[in-house]
Amino acid sequence: MLLPASFYRRENTCLIAKELLGKVLVTRFGQEYTSGIIVETEAYRGAQDRASHAYGNKRTARTEVMYAPGGRAYVYLCYGIHHLFNIVTHGKDVPHAVLIRGIEPLEGIPLMLKRRRSSLLRPSLTAGPGVLSEALGIRTIHSGQTLLHGKDIYIEDTGILVPDKEIICTGRIGVAYAGDDAALPYRFFIRSNPYVSKGKTILPS
DNA sequence: ATACCGATTAACT
DNA sequence: GTTAATCGGTATA
């Protein structure tokens, strides 16, 4: 079942990030079909969150899509190389988003391997926000696209159940510049899943 | 026009 | 454990 607008447009972005675990992220570009189970996410809470590109309600051409109602892709280039895929959440003019940090490959694995120029199925194929975008063929040109039409990029609920006991919550990765906000418990991942990224979490002080 | 830097990764020691 | 790669976005002038 395709996730509906009502899933993304709720106000609790941390809850959305948590509930995205176990959902299936799909890209379908013509005949090219690839998918993976979401195993790691991070919430970014807009105006009030120093780690967010929309901190202080900053509006630029890049961040504008986050001000749309939930259910669109926000994709940006990081370190000049990596395309990072986010899901816009909350309502209009509230620029929240969820970063997808890890997926477990499900369908179209040969195509993912080809996109990653790899021949071996191993966690480095899709563990990490930059590499999973490459495996799924997601690039900055997709920023702003809707996830609600079941075309190009979308998310399905296939009934995979992730027990609460298997979900771990920590501080976020790579946002040391955000001061105290870096340690907020906004990162969610599935315990012991090999496709969770290997970055260092920032511990609360 | 110019300068700085990052929600990372892979390849090193 | 460390660090080079790499370039669009953003701020400043």
Q: Per-residue pLDDT tens for A101-148?
A: 999 999 999 999 999 999 999 999 999 999 999 999 999 999 999 999
Spacing of A48 CA from B12 C1' in Å: 39
Question: What is the spatial distance, in angstroms and rounded to an integer, between the CA atom of A84 and the C1' atom of B1?
Answer: 29
Nearest nucleotide (CA of A79 to C1'): B6
Nearest-CA residue relative to C1' of B5: A79
**What Å value separates CA A198 and C1' B5?**
23
Protein footprint on strand B: which nucleotides are under 7 Å from a CB? 6-10
A190 and A167 Cβ atoms separated by less than 8 Å: yes
Whether residue A50 contacts residue A178, with contact meaning beta carbons closer than 8 Å, is answered with yes
Predicted local distance difference test score (pLDDT) of residue A205: 45
Q: What is the pLDDT of residue A200?
A: 72
Q: Is the pTM of this model over 0.85?
A: yes
Average pLDDT of the residues in A198-203: 69
| pLDDT tens for each residue of A23-80 | 999 999 999 999 999 999 999 999 999 999 999 999 999 999 999 999 999 999 999 9
Sequence-ordered list of residues with C-beta below 8 angstroms from that of A55, at least 6 positions apart, any chain: A46, A47, A48, A49
Q: How long is the CA A42 to C1' B1 vector, in angstroms?
A: 37
pLDDT attached to residue A9: 98
Q: Is the CA virtual torsion A137, A125, A78, A156 positive or negative?
A: positive
Residue A181 neighbours by CB under 8 Å, 6+ apart: A49, A50, A51, A175
Is residue A87 within 8 Å of A8, Cβ to Cβ?
A: yes
Give the nucleotide with minimal C1' distance to the Cα of A125. B9
Residue A118 CA distance to nucleotide B3 C1' (Å): 37
